């Protein structure tokens, strides 16, 4: 049977169906909540992103405004400092009370064609340096100096508004620092990168200088324990200094002790005294245009001669003496170089007598002399053709008197004889062509066989003929008439004889001639001597006074001890006034082939002297031979030789330093020893009318075979044609003489170098000053200590025997800071910058300070030091050693620029940014004109950005 299907109740179904719509509602509400939350989240995220984008845009706007300030700063720099005839200095050069606090570090640009006109200040806006900008933008923060302890105000400059469509949207501000007012630490790399040997390193250190960085920390070097910058003992620091390119890299440098190398720099995030690197253009700030290379053979200038090029290229060891130096047709001031010895003392010993044997009146004489090699190289002469001699030159006397000899009794039998001593017959051959009084001079060889030679600075004494071999001397017949018994012309015994001399008006002349060529090498003119009368007895019968007897048995019995006449010449540098050499070297060119005793000269202080004041004859009366014998060739002279005809025991007097041909470097400073016709020698760099200090502004030196270590070429390919160097290179580490940084000046004046101790060990010395840099490089020994430098009559010669001086370490800091502060004080008192290096050197600022008797410790740097000795430091020494670095302006600048973005709705600053850039002037003009032309306001030289970085707020505020 079938069963019906079972169905659920419809009522049941109806009871279940109402629950389904409620669940859907819950789901729907949840989904809507999620969507709402998502929408709110997206909205919030969009708002955050929008706010972030707005802030990024504002920060970007602030940076763009900072970049705008940088570009405007570059434009102002291009316009004001791009021309050549401009100099720069900080505002504090105006003097105290002429600038607002903080504004002393503003850089001004002066036009050298009108130096008294108001400068352009390298800050944003048209500003007044005396105005305070308390609401201005701080670009260098305030801090206390660790060097002098003074609080330095923040550097603030006015902000310039930026408007768009009349709406204020931001500001910019900038400040520019002249980096050549500071010490460039990159200059140290030449000490480590260039030299290949220790000698080469010394050439570089002594001729080009290596500053002592201790003065940048305010400490100064006093003992090895206080030497914070012993780069030799801390090569890691040395290497880091070499490669540091930007200022912020140098702030992080630490000493081996872990202390910051430059604490002030780290504290301030800036240094007013040092910079990582700086460059200057080889341009003339006074007259405009690029400097000329003196080693360029195509250069048409009175200084650019073959003599100049040969001199700067250097000389071999030994140095060959010039074959002659007859005054050619040279122009005044023209460079020349004809190395020769200088006679420092000459005596013509002479006697006139009658010989009983042949009835002849006769003259016998000896010539005694000292010859000085003033150079720092050995001086040699060609070999003598006669192997029995080593003759270097001949000493000849001219303008000697006319002498009359007569029998001074009433009853005369002897004829009166008058003879000109300049025209005498030789003896014993009347037909011998030699006339007058002359003698050759033998100089003994040393290293080279048969080559007469003088050591560097050697004084060599000799008498000719050699009295040990020929005591009777050389002879000349006096007249042709005989005083003979057979002619009834012989005076009786005990008759009085009168010898009377009358000198020419022009004075006696002594000529030193080259032996082989016969050409004069040195002439002494216008030596004034008194006329004289000598009375003798013809033949004295009283044997106790035989020396008074005019007649001798024969000629050979009249010897050197019998001379009654003497003509004496001596440079006045003996114990009576040892400082007199200062005037001689300062005012005269002793290398000039003519010393005119009748002339005058002017020293660097403007004092006029007679040359004759510096010629110290023991007596102007030639008949005073006895007195002369006791007062010639003193062993207390500066020029002295304790032995005759020998190279032993000769005192060295080194005066003229010569470049060496074995040196890899060339230096403009070497020109101080290049003689110029009729100009004082060694005056370059000094405040002297003959100094020719425009050399520093007009010239530089670079050679294809020798390097100028201060030049940095813009093209990595290296040195171009010598005529194009100035348009292709910059000077690395140039220093502005108008700098008002005491620490920078002290560091610039300081130096260090590798020397040799008396035991032969090597050590690095600080506070070195070199008078003779090339000699010192080859002979790096300080012969006398600081404690023995005081002038005493028995000790002064050694101060000429070394080429450098080391300051007393206990006093050096005070002494150098005294000079540095004195320079800065002078600049501020003057109230405006110098327009050229020449003008600065001619003012004699450094020389005056060096000669000051007082420093902070009560003793001047040259106190008790013999003037112009090799240990007496001069402005010329400093200028010559740093010749390539001296400039009167900055060509490298640090720009700090600020920018902010202002909210146009709230007018509040929304973002700020700071940028720092190093820029430098290039030799290239903005037009295609030749670079050597004067860069003018319409055609200035280009600037380029070397490096840049963004600054953090903590670095400026």
What would the pLDDT profile of 48-83 be if each residue is shown by its tens digit?
666 666 667 889 999 999 999 999 999 999 999 999
CA angle 445, 451, 454 (to 5 degrees): 55
| Lowest mean pLDDT across 42-56, 98-112, 540-554, 576-590 | 576-590
pLDDT reading at 195 higher than 70: no
pLDDT reading at 17 higher than 50: no
Nearest CA to 242 out of 183, 197, 194, 193 is that of 193
Residue bearing the bigger pLDDT, 510 or 751? 510
pLDDT of res. 262: 74
pLDDT of res. 16: 41
Q: Which of 129-138, 499-508, 760-769 has the highest average model confidence (pLDDT)?
A: 499-508
Answer whether 207's CB lies under 8 Å from 946's CB. no
Which residue bears the tokens 């003012």?
843
- The contacts of residue 235 (CB under 8 Å, 6+ apart) are none
Nearest CA to 590 out of 705, 691, 697, 678 is that of 678
What would the pLDDT profile of 280-291 be if each residue is shown by its tens digit?
999 999 999 999
pLDDT of res. 339: 93
Beta bridge partners of 736: 887
pLDDT of res. 192: 54
What would the pLDDT profile of 327-369 be if each residue is shown by its tens digit?
567 888 899 999 999 999 999 999 999 998 899 999 999 999 9
Residue bearing the bigger pLDDT, 578 or 602? 602
Confidence of residue 464 (pLDDT cuts 50, 70, 90): very high
Distance, CA of 377 to CA of 659 (rounded, Å): 9
**What is the SS3 string spanning 634-671?**
CCCCCCCECCECCCCCECECCCECCCECCCCECCHHHH
| Lowest mean pLDDT across 6-20, 52-66, 588-602, 719-733 | 6-20
Q: Is 746 exposed, middle or buried (0-12, 13-18, 19+ CB in 10 A)?
A: buried
Which residue bears the tokens 């020029």?
639
Residue bearing the bigger pLDDT, 21 or 406? 406
What would the pLDDT profile of 80-117 be if each residue is shown by its tens digit?
999 999 999 999 999 988 999 889 999 999 999 999 99
pLDDT reading at 173 higher than 90: yes
Answer whether 883's CB lies under 8 Å from 691's CB. no
Distance, CA of 754 to CA of 766 (rounded, Å): 9
pLDDT reading at 748 higher than 80: yes
Cα 214 to Cα 186, 246, 445, 882, 894, distances in angstroms: 16, 20, 49, 19, 24
What would the pLDDT profile of 231-269 be if each residue is shown by its tens digit?
666 767 766 666 666 677 777 777 767 777 776 676 667
What would the pLDDT profile of 481-510 be if each residue is shown by its tens digit?
899 988 889 999 889 999 999 999 999 999
Tokens encoding 907? 């007018």
Q: Is 33 exposed, middle or buried (0-12, 13-18, 19+ CB in 10 A)?
A: exposed
């Amino acid at each position: 049977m079938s069963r019906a299907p079972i169905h659920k109740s419809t009522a049941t179904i109806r009871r279940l169906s109402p629950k389904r719509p409620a669940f859907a509602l819950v789901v729907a509400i949840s989904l809507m909540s999620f969507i709402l939350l998502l929408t709110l989240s997206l909205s919030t995220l969009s708002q955050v992103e929008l706010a972030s984008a707005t802030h990024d845009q504002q920060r970007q706007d602030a940076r763009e405004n900072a970049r705008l300030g940088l570009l405007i700063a570059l434009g102002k720099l291009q316009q004001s400092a791009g021309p050549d005839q401009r100099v720069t200095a900080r505002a504090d050069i105006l003097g105290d009370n002429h600038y607002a606090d903080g504004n002393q570090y503003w850089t001004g640009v002066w036009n050298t064609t009108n130096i008294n006109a108001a400068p352009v200040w390298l800050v944003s806006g048209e500003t007044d340096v005396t105005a305070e900008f308390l609401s201005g933008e701080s670009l260098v923060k305030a801090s206390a100096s660790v060097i002098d302890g003074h609080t330095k105000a923040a550097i603030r400059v006015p902000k310039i508004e930026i408007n768009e469509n009349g709406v204020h949207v931001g500001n910019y501000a900038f400040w520019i620092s002249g980096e050549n007012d500071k010490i460039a630490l990159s200059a140290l790399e030449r000490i480590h990168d260039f030299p290949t040997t220790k000698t080469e390193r010394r050439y570089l250190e002594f001729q080009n200088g290596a500053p002592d960085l201790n003065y940048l920390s305010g400490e100064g070097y006093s003992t090895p324990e206080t030497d914070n910058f012993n780069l030799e003992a801390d090569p890691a620091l040395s290497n880091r200094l070499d490669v540091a390119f930007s200022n912020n890299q140098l702030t992080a440098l630490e000493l081996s002790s872990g202390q910051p190398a430059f604490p002030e720099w780290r504290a301030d995030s800036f240094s007013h005294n040092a910079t990582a690197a700086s460059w200057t253009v080889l341009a003339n700030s006074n007259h405009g245009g690029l400097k000329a290379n003196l080693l360029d053979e195509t250069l048409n200038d009175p200084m650019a001669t073959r003599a100049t090029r040969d001199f700067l290229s250097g000389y071999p060891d030994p140095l060959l003496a010039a074959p002659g130096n007859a005054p050619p047709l040279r122009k005044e001031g023209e460079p020349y170089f004809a190395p020769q010895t200088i006679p420092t003392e000459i005596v013509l010993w002479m006697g006139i007598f009658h010989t009983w044997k042949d009835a002849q009146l006769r003259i016998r004489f000896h010539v005694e002399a000292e010859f000085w090699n003033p150079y720092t190289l050995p001086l040699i002469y060609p070999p003598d053709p006669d192997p029995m001699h080593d003759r270097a030159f001949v000493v000849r006397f001219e303008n000697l008197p006319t002498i009359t000899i007569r029998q001074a009794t009433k009853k005369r039998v002897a004829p009166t004889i008058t003879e000109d001593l300049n025209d005498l017959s030789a003896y014993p051959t009347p037909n011998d062509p030699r006339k007058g009084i002359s003698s050759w001079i033998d100089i003994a060889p040393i290293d080279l066989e048969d080559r007469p030679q003088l050591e560097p600075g050697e004084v060599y004494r000799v008498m000719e003929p050699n009295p040990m071999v020929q005591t009777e001397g050389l002879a000349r017949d006096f007249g042709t008439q005989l005083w003979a018994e057979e002619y009834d012309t012989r005076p009786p015994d005990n008759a009085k004889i009168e010898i009377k001399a009358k000198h020419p008006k022009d004075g006696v002349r002594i000529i030193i001639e080259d032996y082989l060529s016969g050409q004069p090498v040195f002439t002494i003119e216008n030596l004034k001597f008194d006329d004289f009368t000598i009375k003798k007895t013809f033949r004295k019968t009283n044997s106790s006074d035989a020396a008074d007897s005019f007649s001798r048995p024969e000629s050979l019995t009249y010897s050197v001890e019998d001379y009654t006449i003497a003509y004496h010449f001596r440079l006045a540098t003996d114990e009576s006034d040892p400082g007199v050499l200062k005037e001689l070297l300062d005012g005269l060119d002793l290398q000039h082939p003519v010393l005119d005793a009748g002339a005058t000269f002017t020293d660097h202080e403007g004092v006029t002297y007679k040359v004759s004041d510096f010629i110290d004859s023991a007596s102007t009366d030639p008949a005073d031979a006895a007195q002369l014998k006791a007062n010639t060739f003193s062993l207390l002279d500066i020029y002295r030789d304790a032995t005759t005809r020998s190279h032993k025991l000769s005192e060295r007097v080194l005066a003229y330093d010569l470049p060496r041909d074995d040196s890899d470097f060339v230096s403009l400073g070497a020109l101080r020893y290049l003689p110029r016709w009729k100009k004082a020698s060694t005056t370059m760099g000094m405040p002297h009318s003959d100094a020719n200090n425009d050399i520093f502004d007009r010239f530089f030196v670079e050679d294809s075979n020798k390097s100028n270590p201060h030049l940095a070429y813009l093209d990595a390919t290296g040195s171009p044609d010598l005529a194009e160097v100035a348009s292709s290179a910059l000077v690395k580490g140039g220093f502005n003489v108008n700098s008002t940084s005491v620490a920078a000046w002290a560091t610039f004046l300081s130096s260090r170098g590798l020397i040799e101790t008396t035991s032969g060990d090597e050590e690095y010395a600080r506070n070195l000053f070199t008078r003779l840099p090339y000699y010192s490089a080859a002979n790096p020994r300080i012969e006398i200590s600081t404690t023995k430098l005081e002038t005493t009559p028995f000790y002064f010669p050694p101060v000429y025997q070394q080429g450098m001086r080391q300051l007393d370490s206990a006093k050096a800091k005070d002494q150098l800071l005294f000079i540095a502060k004195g320079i800065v004080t002078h600049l501020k008192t003057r109230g405006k910058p110098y327009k050229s290096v020449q003008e600065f050197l001619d003012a004699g600022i450094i020389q005056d300070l060096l000669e000051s008797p007082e420093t902070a410790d009560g003793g001047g740097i040259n106190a008790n030091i013999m003037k112009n000795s090799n240990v007496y430091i001069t402005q010329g020494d400093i200028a010559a050693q740093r010749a390539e670095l001296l400039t009167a302006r900055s060509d490298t600048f640090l720009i700090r620029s600020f920018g902010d973005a202002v909210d146009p709705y709230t007018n509040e600053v929304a973002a700020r940014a700071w940028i720092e850039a190093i820029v430098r002037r290039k030799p290239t003009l903005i037009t295609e004109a030749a670079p050597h032309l004067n860069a003018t306001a319409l055609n200035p030289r280009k600037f380029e950005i070397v490096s840049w970085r963004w600054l953090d707020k903590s670095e400026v505020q």
